Structure 1
Amino acid sequence: MFSSQCQSSYWLRLQDLKTTYQNATSAGVKRELSGRALELGLHLQQMGRYQEAHIYLQAAVDTADNSLQRSRALVARANVEVELGRRDLAQQAYDEALGASPDSAETAISVGLNRSALLTMDAGKQGMFGQLQLLLQRIEQLPDAENKARYLVQYTVQVKRLGGSLPQLAPVLAQSLIIAQKVDAKYLQVEILDQQAQWMEDLQRHQDMLQISDQAILLLQQIDAPELMISIEARRARVYTRLQRHDLAIKSYQIAVRYIEAIRQDIPVSYSQGRSSVREMIDPVYLGLADALLTGADALDPAAKTKLLFQVRDVVEQIKQNQLEDYLGNRCSTLSNLSATTAYAPATALKLNKGTAILYPIIFPDRLELLLETSEGIARHRVDITSNKLIQDVNAMSSALRAQQSFQTLSRRLYKVLLAPLDSTLQGQSIETLVIVPDGALRLLAFAALNDGKQFAVEKYAIAISPGLRIIAQQVDAQIKGAPIARKVLLAGVSEPGKVVDRLPEDLVDQLLQTDDLNVEEKRGKAARSRALQSRQLFGPSQSNVLTEPNSTEDMRAISNKLKQILRLDGVSTEIQSLEKIISAKSILNVDFSSRNFSQQVRSGEFDIVHVASHGIFGSTADKTFILAHDDVITIDQFQSLLSADQLNKRPLDLLVLSACETAEGDDRAPLGISGAALKAKARSAMGSLWPVSDIAASQLMQSVYQNYVNRHMSKAQSLRLAQLELMQQKSFVHPNFWAAFIVVGNWQ
């Protein structure tokens, strides 16, 4: 489905290893089978596919032909247990490895070094230093070989983690480099030089760092190691920036970016123990490049400056793609959409209609940069506010809106920072639609609720959100000519959940029951009946063990009934009935909204709009994002499998509406779930809410949106804007909590 774009060199190597393993299985040669399984498991580990790696590494253990082969497989499996967060199982496997080869010095060293990474500070630094010192003595007794050099490097990593100093470790690193040179292990030599260069950067010994990097680059010209080139060049770029050598910083960042793009599909989305490769390695390079490019922008002539700003925009677009890939846990999910984007071309102006502007806010530690692109060109505005202060204000504003608290001061302050610098341009060019590509915490912000002291932003502009113009095809080059399209709508809702309550994850069930301290009916009787799922606690650690193991069928039935009460959505039936009165639609409610029937209806290709009125949460990652059908949980990944069909490829959904879903509070990654849902459902755009909204307000707003979009053929952004303006005129709903939560994501037309 994703074509050759996702068949990287790692993927191709994986297929070769699987074929070799299958051949060994057929041949039945035990020794060869274990070796092939080990090789395959290590490759999968390198790709970040730890569950699969575990399967093959266990096979390597089970088919080992001798004790040394078994111990190596056990150490490898133990390392994967660590990646999976199963430390107890890792310790057991390390013990088994030692037991399998009690006389092997290398097994003892390997286990000792790997196990030291698991030790906590509870044992005290001195005790840990002592254990590592004993390991160093054993390493030094080994004959000079590549493994010995690697053990020495691993030793320095562990000692540095404990606070070891350069004078203490420099001789060990130097020894490892000499051995690596002696055995002509060039890749290992570069790894050692990379570590030495990092020490020099940490100590701000910039010239020493640059000299070491030069040595590494000479070696890299002789081997294929792009991942090391990325590390070396990114570090050089950081140091050049500190030395005010911005031209050299740009050059090094561009080299690093070129290598990232060359091996993008080979870089695991997740690193060790769930760490993100995007947040730790990829995004800092792109953000550093954007910073370096902007530093010299004002000194350029207008034509050169414009070209440079387009370059910066392209860098930001790539960052947005990185972040959505990180959220979805799959690089190919976004790549499959890039070829469909007609409006985006690198380093050139977008084909924007007059009256439309694209805003890229870029958060740097010391400032905020605003890139604004319109049909007349691109401009840059710098705002002197630290990232910490901006994020603090955004989080406070978001919390105030969720809780219906005072927001006016924060609203005016954020308008002054984010929109006031653009007002003259927006008004001078008669901008009607403002499309925002938010950065970080700004994804949590309801821009519609920002106020200039007289008006809300939504009173001036129709506001839409884009995850990036490269990601979801916007088709912004021209409005569709000719007669308005008659939109066909599928309305799917769950007011009273069914068997789905028995399929919820145990931790979610536990936390739902914990949050239900008040009587359900008492909460439902409050004036503003909210669709909240208590998202603040849904994915945090459990606070107590409220949910005990059910002892009988009767206990299970009681838990199910209570969950059905908690998850009931009284306003959904009314919402669907009211929409049926104003648009031509097919409805599937409660038992008819099974995951199977939902899939069949959408895959028929009959509908342009799919409206889902059911509980859902957008969490920090795709696997914590879901909606509830009547009978089952539908994860964001299942959107792709449930809704895949030739009919949808020929006629993609125009709009996916999620009227009762919410984003996890305070998590700036959660709103990416709305974009991810649209992407997985092959929808041109989506509409969702940043926080739970009262039943009455949500129902009224949705009726207005459909009247405007389906019946009056307005754009999605304008349809939402007019619905928000209509709602805020009512005394009961004047607070932005009721009207500002909903956002249009993706195609705004």
Structure 2
Amino acid sequence: MKKIFLIILVILSFTVAVVAQDAVNYTQLLNQGKQQYDQGNYPAAIEHWEAAREGFNQEDDLLGESQALIYLTWVYQDTFDWIKATETIQESIRLLSTQQPNLLLAQALNTQGNVELAMGKTQSALTSWETAEKVYTLLEDEQGIKGSKINQAQALKELGYYRLACDKLLESLEITQVKCNNFNLVEWEKHQDNYHSELEAIAIHALGVNFQNTGNYSLAQSLLESSLDIFKKLDIPTQISTNLTSLGNNALGLKATDIALNYYQQAIAVGLNNLEPELKLLNLLIQLEQPQEARDLIESITEQIQQLPPSRHNLYLQINLAQSWLKLLAVTANNNDSKYLAEVLAQVLVKAQDLGDTNSQAYALITLGKLYEQNQQLTEAERLTQQALELGISINASEIISQSQWQLARILAQQGKVEEGIIANQAAIEILAQQRQDLVAVESQIQFNFIEEIEPIYRHLIGLLLQPSASQDNLKQARQVLESLQIAKLDNFFNTPCLTAKPQSIEELDTTAVVIYPIILADRLEVVTSFPDGILTNYRTNLPEDKIETILREYRSYLNPVASNQNRLIISEQIYDWLIQPIEKQLEEAKIKNLVFVLDGYLRNIPLAALYDGEKYLIEKYNLAIAPSLQLLESDSTNLTDQKALVAGLSESRQGFSPLPGVETEVREISANISSQVLLNQDFTTINIANKINSASFPIIHLATHGQFSSQYKDTFLITWDSQLDINQLSQVLTNREISEAKPIELLVLSACQTAKGDRRAALGLAGLAVRSGARSTIATLWSVNDASSAILIGKFYQNLTQEKVTKAQALRQAQVAMLEDENYNHPYYWSSFILLGNWF
């Protein structure tokens, strides 16, 4: 369900082309009706236009009659008389179709599209607007072509074709050199001063909303500010209010709640009775845990919303209000409110049925089903949700189907119908997998985001599959679902598919490794393990998710050298018991050397090497690697002794970051062991590193510079001498290198980076870069390590790596153990931050 906005593109022509002299009075009637329409006097407008229509009909003036029918459609649409609106515009198009293509036909087709979209007939609306564009093209009407493209973009978005919608908006702005996947701030700055009209501002606003929905908030901010500036210059209050609301949504995406509040209040202050900023403000108040303020606003919105006539847009507003109300009821249970809300949703359902809007019916049923689920009236909740599912299937609406299946899975599971719940949950995920490229491109009107709405669907299914004494089939399926989730999270991070190279499963690469998959669920930590014989096992720790994360955070804080060693070892041993102790004996008996972890949640932010069994650290017993997903790229396992490295680093302070004097030592150590081309300090510019990577084949790329990994790709970057190299720029350089068929990057080392503080999902940025770059293996640091100790460890790593038959995992382990044995650097702070992602050979 998405926010509806109608772009009513009608290039007004108040003088009907070539009207006979005795029809002048009828033309005057048209203009008089237009005056009444503009004043809101709809009955008088209808009277004038009906009279004009009859007069033109008597004179056999098809163009005049068609113009009158178009005008009448406007008023029927504004008064929500959809039957008359449909019949009238169809008659106009029938008359015009007997003539040569003309402006009126294009206008009629645009008007028909508006009616169809308002009635929920989105595919029909798209067809009408595509036909209108063809007519405008024949007439060489540039404004008409632009407007039709904007309308098509709205329909495409309604149908779920988000990227096509975005590209269509670029076309409307005559930006044809790039597609949306490659559109950025630099490209926008080339064009932003070229636009001045309302139509162009509408397209810019829609484009900004698109990039906001895909997480590119900086680009969205620039676009939305540009459209707002145009609307203000043109003094169009309705558009100003809508634009301010979108800027508030963007501020929320940037976690700037105070700025969001200000934007919403500005939008409300425009004073147009626009409910959308009020609904956004309501959601924010609930999020900020201000229940009384939220309840007061609900009462105000309810009074206004009940006065609205039926249309899809207004029904969506009511459903949006109901969804917000449900959130409030979840924390402030009130039986009277629940009963009233059920009545409101039942009324919405009746209005949607009268309108013939299947989408609105389905969303009303889903929301009503959720209300019954929340009140533990599960039988009725199941019935309502099943009805919504059937409606979604009848119109092939994938979002409705996936939401219904997900809700049904929860309801069935709560009734103890586990197998049925699994089937429904699987169906929801299958649809999400089909939509993987567009998972995050859903408009915020439906309160649909990845962390809150997508990820729980995967985790719920994993929880159902991992019951005590789970079968091998269920264990394998749980692992597959986890794989789908990991890939979806990476795609969500970049807003584009990450796994573009041909993957190979871990078991195919190393038949002697044990793979460990910890999965954090709401009520427990599940661990699935795969031994070389292919048998899967699982075990669990019954702790709530928030308690698990608290312990992991404490462990991370105790890795500071000034913290208590005793507390660190106690917590480290506790986590070891969760992950390793249940299979410790099996590992010893099978003489396992390699442990590969596919980590989940905050576990990505902790150093596994420093887990403690009471006597030894994990790194003292095993070679360790982390797989961002359950699949890896094939690796060239030849020795790296004779391979060349590109080494770039900063030892001097740049852009407010502290100097790294140890980088010079680090560079010398690398060069002493492997043939290297060095870019140090002034030579390490963004252009130089890009040119070097693309111009020559370096199996090893080592970057010794400040950097940060974050769950937001805009906050994931590396520092060069002249700028910040963001993750998209770096991954694009590395990906282009693979496209050019240069020898693949066997090892990417990032030796002075850290995960963003306070970001529980920060290591996702590291995993995303590791996968999307195409590098076979990546070594990076979870925190910025002591400069001198880092240089020593890196030197030992490369020295080990040049030895015959030493894998990357062995080389790193030997370097870390050597540091552990050095009394100056034996604390885990100095050596456990280094992690190996990807291939460990």
Q: TM-score range by the shorter chain?
A: 0.7 to 0.9
Aligned equivalent of 1:167: 339
The question of 1:473 aligning with 2:633 is answered yes
Aligned equivalent of 2:528: 371
Instruction: Answer yes or no: is the 8 Å Cα contact 1:83–1:274 preserved in 2.
Output: no
Distance across 2 between alignment mates of 1:122 and 1:747: 44
Normalised by the length of structure 2, the TM-score is 0.70
Distance 1:191 1:715, change over 3 A: same
Distance 1:178 1:42, change over 3 A: farther
Structure-to-structure mapping, 1:583-732, within 5 angstroms: 583-646=674-737, 649-665=741-757, 667-732=759-824
Structure-to-structure mapping, 1:395-474, within 5 angstroms: 395-405=553-563, 406=565, 407-470=568-631, 472-474=632-634
Paired letter, 1:342: Q
Partner of residue 330 from structure 1, selected from 468, 491, 495? 495
Distance 1:488 1:32, change over 3 A: closer
The question of 1:222 aligning with 2:394 is answered yes
Distance 1:113 1:692, change over 3 A: closer
Report how far residue 157 of structure 1 moved. Answer: 4.1
Structure-to-structure mapping, 1:734-749, within 5 angstroms: 734-749=826-841
Distance 1:35 1:645, change over 3 A: closer
Paired letter, 1:172: V
Deviation per CA, 1:521-572: give whole Å up to 9, x if none: xxxxxxxxxxxxxxxxxxxxxxxxxxxxxxxxxxxxxxxxxx4xx6111211
Partner of residue 10 from structure 1, selected from 138, 162, 166? 162
Distance across 2 between alignment mates of 1:146 and 1:276: 19
Normalised by the length of structure 1, the TM-score is 0.78
Cα RMSD for the two superposed structures: 3.5
Distance across 2 between alignment mates of 1:663 and 1:45: 24
Distance 1:17 1:642, change over 3 A: closer
Report how far residue 726 of structure 1 moved. Answer: 1.6
% identity of equivalent residues: 28
Instruction: Answer yes or no: is the 8 Å Cα contact 2:264–2:280 preserved in 1.
Output: no
Report how far residue 316 of structure 1 moved. Answer: 1.1
Instruction: Answer yes or no: is the 8 Å Cα contact 1:40–1:53 preserved in 2.
Output: no
Aligned equivalent of 1:510: none
Secondary structure of the 1:650 match is: coil
Report how far residue 272 of structure 1 moved. Answer: 4.3
Report how far residue 735 of structure 1 moved. Answer: 1.9
Paired letter, 1:92: Q
Report how far residue 307 of structure 1 moved. Answer: 3.1
Distance 1:596 1:55, change over 3 A: closer
Deviation per CA, 1:387-444: give whole Å up to 9, x if none: 3443333222222123353122222222222111112222222211111111112112
Paired letter, 1:685: S
Aligned equivalent of 1:285: 457
Paired letter, 2:570: T
Instruction: Answer yes or no: is the 8 Å Cα contact 1:8–1:265 preserved in 2.
Output: no
- Comparing 42-51 and 406-415, the one that deviates more: 42-51
Report how far residue 673 of structure 1 moved. Answer: 2.7
Report how far residue 721 of structure 1 moved. Answer: 0.8
Paired letter, 2:606: L
Aligned equivalent of 1:309: 475
Report how far residue 496 of structure 1 moved. Answer: 0.9
Aligned equivalent of 1:152: 318
Distance across 1 between alignment mates of 2:441 and 2:199: 31
Instruction: Answer yes or no: is the 8 Å Cα contact 1:609–1:656 preserved in 2.
Output: yes
Structure with larger RCO (C-alpha < 8 A, sep 6+) = 1
Instruction: Answer yes or no: is the 8 Å Cα contact 2:389–2:400 preserved in 1.
Output: no
Distance 1:608 1:108, change over 3 A: closer
Distance 1:145 1:737, change over 3 A: closer
Aligned equivalent of 1:183: 355
Aligned equivalent of 2:14: none
Distance across 1 between alignment mates of 2:735 and 2:211: 28
Instruction: Answer yes or no: is the 8 Å Cα contact 1:372–1:379 preserved in 2.
Output: yes
Report how far residue 22 of structure 1 moved. Answer: 4.9
Report how far residue 609 of structure 1 moved. Answer: 0.9
Paired letter, 2:376: Q
The question of 1:394 aligning with 2:552 is answered yes
Paired letter, 1:707: Q
Partner of residue 519 from structure 2, selected from 362, 377, 382? 362
Secondary structure of the 1:496 match is: coil
Aligned equivalent of 2:647: 491
Q: Aligned residue pairs: how many?
A: 645
Deviation per CA, 1:673-696: give whole Å up to 9, x if none: 332333354311111122232233
Secondary structure of the 1:627 match is: strand
Paired letter, 2:689: F
Which ranges of structure 2 fall in alignment gaps of 5 or more residues?
Answer: 1-158, 176-190, 252-258
Paired letter, 1:254: Q
Distance 1:469 1:710, change over 3 A: farther
Distance across 2 between alignment mates of 1:214 and 1:123: 32
Distance 1:276 1:689, change over 3 A: farther
Paired letter, 1:341: P
Distance 1:311 1:598, change over 3 A: same
Distance 1:56 1:721, change over 3 A: closer
Aligned equivalent of 1:545: none
- Comparing 123-132 and 217-226, the one that deviates more: 123-132
Report how far residue 126 of structure 1 moved. Answer: 6.8
Instruction: Answer yes or no: is the 8 Å Cα contact 1:674–1:687 preserved in 2.
Output: no
Instruction: Answer yes or no: is the 8 Å Cα contact 1:31–1:64 preserved in 2.
Output: no
Structure-to-structure mapping, 1:492-571, within 5 angstroms: 492-497=648-653, 500-501=654-655, 563=656, 567-571=658-662
Report how far residue 41 of structure 1 moved. Answer: 6.5
- Comparing 670-679 and 583-592, the one that deviates more: 670-679
- Comparing 731-740 and 125-134, the one that deviates more: 125-134
Instruction: Answer yes or no: is the 8 Å Cα contact 2:320–2:446 preserved in 1.
Output: no
Instruction: Answer yes or no: is the 8 Å Cα contact 2:232–2:240 preserved in 1.
Output: no
Secondary structure of the 2:552 match is: helix
Paired letter, 2:710: G
Distance 1:244 1:492, change over 3 A: same
Secondary structure of the 2:527 match is: strand
Secondary structure of the 1:732 match is: coil
Report how far residue 361 of structure 1 moved. Answer: 1.0
Secondary structure of the 1:336 match is: coil
Report how far residue 313 of structure 1 moved. Answer: 1.1
Distance across 2 between alignment mates of 1:578 and 1:618: 26
Distance 1:411 1:274, change over 3 A: farther
Instruction: Answer yes or no: is the 8 Å Cα contact 1:112–1:135 preserved in 2.
Output: yes
Paired letter, 1:356: A
The question of 1:320 aligning with 2:492 is answered no
Aligned equivalent of 1:514: none
Distance across 1 between alignment mates of 2:743 and 2:387: 55
Distance across 1 between alignment mates of 2:574 and 2:435: 43
Distance across 2 between alignment mates of 1:249 and 1:630: 55
Paired letter, 1:268: V
